Amino acid sequence: MNNRGRRRRVTSAHLDFDPDLIKRLVPGVADLPSDQPEKRMMIHALRRAWNTVLTPIQREYMVEYYINMRTMQRIAVNHGVTKGTVSRTLRRGRKRLCDAIQYCQCL
């Protein structure tokens, strides 16, 4: 049986992703909150995951999409790829971040 045309379910990991966290992960964009130690630990864990589990192109696309507010189409044109490639790369990057911090003790 052919699976083409079937819709895929969106997992809760994709729905819970907070794009504003990206701004805190990139060095120099936002400082860590100093008044709440649990938030500092969470952001530290995310920043470590940002630097270790994402590929350079995933980081680059996330910065362009979430911080520079570029559209997927514009990112695709700038990098010579399709919009679908950009979308998949962003989705896989978000999933990698969520998977990396899933078992973090600070969360």
What does the pLDDT look like over 15-68, one tens digit per residue? 455 666 666 666 554 555 556 676 677 777 788 888 899 999 999 999 999 888
CA–CA dist 76, 99 (Å, integer): 26
Provide the whole-model pTM. 0.66
Does residue 51 sit within a domain?
Answer: yes
What range does the domain containing 45 cover? 33-101
Predicted pLDDT at 98: 81
Residue 41 contacts residue 82 (beta carbons within 8 Å): no
Answer yes or no: are the C-beta atoms of 22 and 63 closer than 8 Å: yes
pLDDT band for position 11 (cuts 50, 70, 90): very low
Domain-embedded: residue 37: yes
> Cβ distance 42 to 107 under 8 Å?
yes
Per the structure, the count of domains in the chain is: 1
Q: 61: burial class by Cβ within 10 Å (0-12, 13-18, 19+)?
A: buried
Backbone torsions φ then ψ of 31, nearest 5 degrees: -85, 160
Tens digits of per-residue pLDDT, 76-88? Answer: 999 999 999 999 9
- At residue 37, the pLDDT reads 72
